Amino acid sequence: MESGVELHNINVQDFIKTLDSCVGRVCMRTNEGDCLNLKSKLSQLLGLTKLIEGGIIANARVFCDSQEDETKLFRLNLYKDVPAN
């Protein structure tokens, strides 16, 4: 889980939907160095409340075990492409 995806101005609902489609572990590192597992709804609430500004995630860096998941998050960030269920 070395590389990460920098996210900017992401709609929270789109982000959660994308996280739900991920197959591997996805985490976000806090300023304190903790790694929050974003596949957990509790961790999503804890981690995202600090990042949300008016329904938008202003800035976050997430790390993925799966290259496929990293690609999904990259596409969300760049193209606002939300995976279909």
pLDDT tens-digit readout, 41-67: 998 888 888 788 788 888 888 999 999
Question: H helices within 1-85, ranges in order?
Answer: 12-21, 41-48, 67-79
Q: Which domain holds residue 34?
A: 10-79
Supply the CATH number for residue 70's domain.
3.30.1340
Domain count, the chain: 1
Identify whether 1 is part of a domain: no
pLDDT band, very low/low/confident/very high, at 2 (cuts 50, 70, 90) = low
Cα(81)–Cα(31) distance, integer angstroms: 28
pLDDT digits (tens, 9 = 90+) for 25-37: 999 987 777 889 9
In a domain, 2, yes or no: no
For the chain, give the mean pLDDT: 88
For residue 61, being part of any structural domain is answered with: yes
Give the DSSP H/E element, type plus range, for residue 64.
strand 56-64
| Banded pLDDT at 84 (limits 50, 70, 90) | confident
Q: What is the pTM of this model?
A: 0.87
- In angstroms, the CA 59 to CA 82 distance is 18
